[in-house]
Amino acid sequence: PRSHTPHFLQRYNKIKIIKIKIKVKIKKIRFFEIAWVDPAMNWAC
């Protein structure tokens, strides 16, 4: 049982890190989309 716990925690931490990375990527993409789209929309108006 003891050997199972660290492995489970390692896997859990990996999933956590991956989720955080995905969230950061989405935030960056959204930021760049807003940064590019907003000036274009303002220019069009």
Q: What is the pLDDT of residues 28-37, one digit of tens each?
A: 888 887 777 7
Using pLDDT thresholds of 50, 70 and 90, give the confidence band for residue 20: very high
Domain ranges of the chain: 9-44
> What are the CA-CA distances from residue 33 to residues 12, 20, 23, 28 (Å)?
32, 20, 15, 8
pLDDT at residue 40, as a whole number? 64
Amino acid 38 reads: D
Rg for the chain, CA atoms, rounded: 20
